[in-house]
Structure 1
Amino acid sequence: MAMAFSPLVLAVIAALITLATHRYLISKSRLPPSTRLPPGPPGKPLVGNLLDIPPVHSWLKFKEWSDVYGPLLRLNLAGREHYVASTEKVANDLLRERGNIYSSREQLPAAVRLLGDNLRPLFYPHDDTFRQSRKLMHRLCKESAANTYQPTQSLESARLLYDLVRKPEEYDGWLMRYSSSLIFRIGFGKAMKDNHDPLLIQLFNELHRLERVASPGAYLVDTFPVLMYLPDWLAPFKRELKAWHVEEREIFLTLLNDVKSEMEQGKAPDCWEKTYLEHSGEYALSEERGAYVVGTLFEAGSGTTAAAMMSWILSMVHYPEEFKRLQGHIQEVIGDARLPVFDDIPNLPRVRAVVKETLRWRPVTAGGVPHLSEKDDVYNGMFIPAGTNVHANQWAIHREPQLYPAADTFNPDRWLDPQYPTYREPLTQYPNLQNYSAFGFGRRLCPGMHIAERSLNLLVARIAWACDISKKIGSDGKEMEVPLYDYESGFNVQPKRFQFDLKARSEKRWRVVKEAYEWEMENDPLKSRREW
């Protein structure tokens, strides 16, 4: 029986076909003389490569293609141009050195316009609003500011360590609490009770929604924006996303208004929200946009540090010899009478190497968030039209054979041994994470890089000092297998829950951990504002 289509549905289908064909013909007709389009996998009529991209972990497929087609490859997604940069040189040449034309974002209907109502800084186009938001982020997250957050990181790391030894099976919750509570404190001046804090749950629901909505292919309207012309009653996706926006906006404004109210009463502790409100006249941002800047800094910081730490634990489970070397290095510098502190980090190059290698081996933003070209460009004879999405595929970038021999192997020595191309000295300074490609490129570099680096260094040093980590022994007396790559989906990725053993290395070290925890809780500057 033939399927009947309404005139409206037929009109939409015809519009989609016309749009895809028009995009394709435009891209071909604009090709300047003596230039070529980058190579790439052959596509299908109308949809191009759209159906060839897997719905999850697309960076793995991009890496396969880059091995065949080279460091800059071209994909056509129903007429939309997507280029994938798979080496650090190409990504830096375009996104950093030509940042004046590669710093925008495509204004996708689902994540940008419907869910975010054009308020989320992650997706701002390259305009004055973007520059003002980055100016505020720099003030809040620059290196000198990050130094002032170290006492809070010490407090939350002691709390994490104490609970991790007591209940290691809840490792993911403790790590998420660390990163979330840290940003709660420095962002909003609030002490988080536990992982079940209602506001925290709301924020994480919003974050997971964002990751899902912004994932490639999640909403057909991103591929065919003509669907935005459908009325709301005929477009359930529009009703859903708009309702979620109302929820997220209310959360961010509530956090801002809470601090504003406390400032009026003279009770607000120092925090990002207070800094913004005190200096809001210096930024050409509405209060609503200011609330989104601080609120989305929480989104960015709360999940990424925890995800990186979960990958570090995974690496230590699979590479026990590296864990023993790390413990031995820390022992030589620290001894067994106290926890590592920030002043020790310059003398712990292996700690820093392990952190950097973790972000290379399992990058948190493995596929990167694409930059949008603002005008036509030519790179090495290849034409890049205005409006092209350029992806810095971190999974491939961090597996470039010339820079990272045996790239799939977790090997901190590649940062410490002069025989490797990535070695730099002095080792009191290098390796470090400054301008590291794991944090993005150019004018879209992650603003929280300095804070994340301090957290990761301290957490790795303290956990390795205090704990032993190993594979769990099953009922048959054999080690239980742990997947090397079984990761959640989204543009920030972490390993799915896995089993391992963690315990205090000695009773003496456990006493040190408990004493540090008790001291930090007693001297917590937000002690009167928490209920632990």
Structure 2
Amino acid sequence: MLALILLAGTLVYILRKYGAREKGLPPGPPTIPILGNAHLFPTEFPQLKFTEWARKYGGLYSLKIGAGTVVIVTDAAIAKELLDKRGAATADRPSTHIGDLTTGGKLITVARYGETYKTLRKSANVILTAQATKQHLPIQQAEAVQLLHDFIQSPESFFTAISRYSYSVIHSVLYGKRVSRYDNEEMKQFNHIVRSFNILMAPGGAPPVDLIPVLKYIPERFAPWKTESRRIKNLQHKHYWTMLNDAKDRMLRGEGHGCCMEQVFKHQEELGMSDELTKFLGSALQETGAETTSSFLQGLVLALVAHPEAQKKAQEEIDSIVGAQRMPTLDDLNSLPYVRALILEAHRFRPVVPLGLPHAAISTQEYEGYMIPEGATIFVNVWGIFHDPDLFEEPEKFRPERYVLTENGTKPGVDGSALRHTLPFGFGRRICPGMIHFPKNLHWNINTMNLLWAFEFLPAVDANGISIPVDTWAYSKGIASAPLPFCCRIIPRSEAKIKIIQSEFVEAAATLSKFEVDLSEADKEYLRKARGNQAAEGS
């Protein structure tokens, strides 16, 4: 009897401790037995709740999810110390049962910090150097011209035109093949895969299996996330194997364009890349590159519609430097401080990956008396940092002027030295390998300048001619956040600029046609019509 009482007492003690915040952890919301803070964990737009808690508990706080520990960093200086300076100790990713079910741990964005990750990273660095990405500028510039042309032809379809553009550019660079229309079957498959995977992998998208391991053993009929993981895995495999094999076949036929996957194929042995790893490298770069590009550009248009005063200032500046007789060039940005500030403010106002991708501590770390245990998941709340009222004047307002006043947009006199413009692209040894060259040329410089130079972005109007305001809070759920589709009016700023765009589009055709390979009959018919219209415009 005594033994039973002692056993019961021990179990009660263990259960009371399970889920409790251990001594030495950063503070955080009160816990309850077994669950810890799992009952409080936000399932939608977690960055908002995380930011609310940061205002209460500080720039470094913790959550307990069962026996697991999650650390939230909402302070740029702490993020710099823990993830940049101590990158060797915080370069891991959390164990992700869902990620392993879908990718086998071979996707660079979720791979653990080991030999597989290092091989993938090395290969990514080889194909995303400044010199390597420079050779892809012609297709980027040609696609950017088509985007302007698409806005002229079908301004009401601007949202999907941006999605097509971002997918086509990345696909051309990676696989040597462009996509000329939004309803292309490959693009439909890609969009579905990305949306499904992002929702599943986002905080709250599935039960916290890794922090409460017993959930792994729930039968699949009661665990819909297992069924969804298997479905996504099959879709990814089919889609990316097809893309990869097509590129490889064209290279072997002597019809390659020097695309990134061709470079990996040529150096597979020295890089240690199997076909399987090459497939996953291509899928990671395709998904992150295309999605962040479209999210940024769609968010940019939304911000311009919602903030006409900022749009006007940027256009006045670009008109004074570029004029109306030519399109902007990459070199113009150095002479456009307000346009540059507008780009930075768009990233700050609505970061495309509000929580970044989580890190994990490889070893126990100490920071100002607090313990971050080995294996702890670490989120950097980029949203919370960029919306900190102690750093930014009226952070909920879209004000590019802040980046004209100070380098990092902070209040004058406030120390913003720990901030950097590349915060949305990651930290430490997990920072995006292409952040400096490819994204900057792709959507910062070319497209922002082009769109401001060419068009007015105005609210849509109802039947009575009354403006319909856009909602700058209407964003999608998931790891990456993009505006939900919205309506606006896009009006060319002059007939002269229309003619310049049409002329540039005719000249871009030669570059674009090089990447129009292995086309379906629907694609061929679409291009026949487009080329006919193009010839008429150029005559």
Kindly indicate whether the alpha-carbon contact (under 8 Å) linking 2:85 and 2:428 is maintained by their aligned counterparts in 1: yes
Instruction: Give 1:167's match in structure 2, choosing from 154, 162, 166.
Output: 154
Q: Which consecutive unaligned segments of at least 5 residues does structure 2 have?
A: 1-11, 413-418, 528-539
CA distance in 2, matches of 1:328, 1:321: 11
Aligned to 1:123: 110
Aligned to 2:142: 155
Gap change, CA 1:435 and 1:313, over 3 Å in 2: closer
Aligned to 1:12: none
Kindly indicate whether the alpha-carbon contact (under 8 Å) linking 2:459 and 2:489 is maintained by their aligned counterparts in 1: yes
Cα offset, 1:158, TM superposition: 0.6
Cα deviation, 1:369-420, whole Å, max 9, x if unaligned, reads: 1100011111010011111111000111112334322211212122222598
CA distance in 2, matches of 1:373, 1:468: 48
Aligned to 1:313: 301
CA distance in 2, matches of 1:20, 1:412: 52
Question: Residue 61 in 1 paired to residue 32 in 2?
Answer: no
Gap change, CA 1:477 and 1:293, over 3 Å in 2: same
Gap change, CA 1:471 and 1:239, over 3 Å in 2: closer
Q: Which consecutive unaligned segments of at least 5 residues does structure 1 have?
A: 1-16, 425-432
Q: Aligned AA for 2:276?
A: E
Q: Aligned AA for 1:369?
A: L
Cα offset, 1:235, TM superposition: 5.2
Instruction: Give 1:109's match in structure 2, choosing from 85, 92, 97.
Output: 97
Aligned to 1:72: 60
Kindly indicate whether the alpha-carbon contact (under 8 Å) linking 2:42 and 2:203 is maintained by their aligned counterparts in 1: no
Kindly indicate whether the alpha-carbon contact (under 8 Å) linking 1:20 and 1:78 is maintained by their aligned counterparts in 2: no
Instruction: Give 2:399's match in structure 1, choosing from 400, 406, 411.
Output: 411
CA distance in 2, matches of 1:514, 1:160: 11
Across the aligned residues of Structure 1 and Structure 2, the Cα RMSD in angstroms comes to: 2.3
Cα offset, 1:435, TM superposition: 5.9
SS state at 1:472 partner = strand
Question: Residue 448 in 1 paired to residue 427 in 2?
Answer: no
SS state at 2:69 partner = strand
Question: Residue 271 in 1 paired to residue 259 in 2?
Answer: yes
Aligned to 1:177: 164
Question: Residue 462 in 1 paired to residue 469 in 2?
Answer: no
CA distance in 1, matches of 2:90, 2:489: 46
Kindly indicate whether the alpha-carbon contact (under 8 Å) linking 2:408 and 2:421 is maintained by their aligned counterparts in 1: no
Cα offset, 1:344, TM superposition: 1.9
Cα offset, 1:217, TM superposition: 2.6
Kindly indicate whether the alpha-carbon contact (under 8 Å) linking 1:20 and 1:47 is maintained by their aligned counterparts in 2: no
CA distance in 1, matches of 2:15, 2:141: 54
CA distance in 2, matches of 1:21, 1:216: 26
Kindly indicate whether the alpha-carbon contact (under 8 Å) linking 2:474 and 2:483 is maintained by their aligned counterparts in 1: yes
Aligned to 1:5: none
Cα deviation, 1:297-345, whole Å, max 9, x if unaligned, reads: 0000111111111111111112111101100111111110111122322
Aligned to 1:200: 187
CA distance in 2, matches of 1:18, 1:140: 55
SS state at 2:255 partner = coil
Cα offset, 1:349, TM superposition: 2.5
CA distance in 1, matches of 2:134, 2:281: 21
Gap change, CA 1:271 and 1:360, over 3 Å in 2: same
CA distance in 2, matches of 1:22, 1:194: 57
Gap change, CA 1:527 and 1:274, over 3 Å in 2: closer
Question: Residue 439 in 1 paired to residue 425 in 2?
Answer: yes
Aligned to 1:43: 31
Aligned to 2:322: 334
Question: Residue 215 in 1 paired to residue 221 in 2?
Answer: no
Cα deviation, 1:441-495, whole Å, max 9, x if unaligned, reads: 1111122322111122211101111101112232233221221211110111111
Gap change, CA 1:372 and 1:527, over 3 Å in 2: closer
CA distance in 1, matches of 2:90, 2:37: 23
Cα offset, 1:79, TM superposition: 2.3
Q: Aligned AA for 2:428?
A: G
Aligned to 1:475: 463
Cα offset, 1:232, TM superposition: 5.4
Cα offset, 1:165, TM superposition: 2.2
Cα deviation, 1:23-61, whole Å, max 9, x if unaligned, reads: 546x62xx5xxxx32111113322122222321101001
Instruction: Give 1:366's match in structure 2, choosing from 354, 357, 372.
Output: 354
SS state at 1:378 partner = strand
- Percent identity between the aligned chains? 28
Gap change, CA 1:238 and 1:359, over 3 Å in 2: same
Kindly indicate whether the alpha-carbon contact (under 8 Å) linking 1:117 and 1:245 is maintained by their aligned counterparts in 2: no
Q: Which moved more, 1:221-230 or 1:131-140?
A: 221-230
Q: Which moved more, 1:461-470 or 1:43-52?
A: 43-52
Q: Aligned AA for 2:454?
A: A
CA distance in 2, matches of 1:499, 1:225: 44
Cα offset, 1:523, TM superposition: 4.3
SS state at 1:207 partner = helix
Q: Aligned AA for 1:190?
A: K
Cα offset, 1:347, TM superposition: 2.1
CA distance in 2, matches of 1:223, 1:276: 36
Kindly indicate whether the alpha-carbon contact (under 8 Å) linking 2:172 and 2:515 is maintained by their aligned counterparts in 1: no
Kindly indicate whether the alpha-carbon contact (under 8 Å) linking 2:175 and 2:260 is maintained by their aligned counterparts in 1: yes
Kindly indicate whether the alpha-carbon contact (under 8 Å) linking 2:151 and 2:158 is maintained by their aligned counterparts in 1: yes
Kindly indicate whether the alpha-carbon contact (under 8 Å) linking 1:307 and 1:494 is maintained by their aligned counterparts in 2: yes
Aligned to 1:498: 486
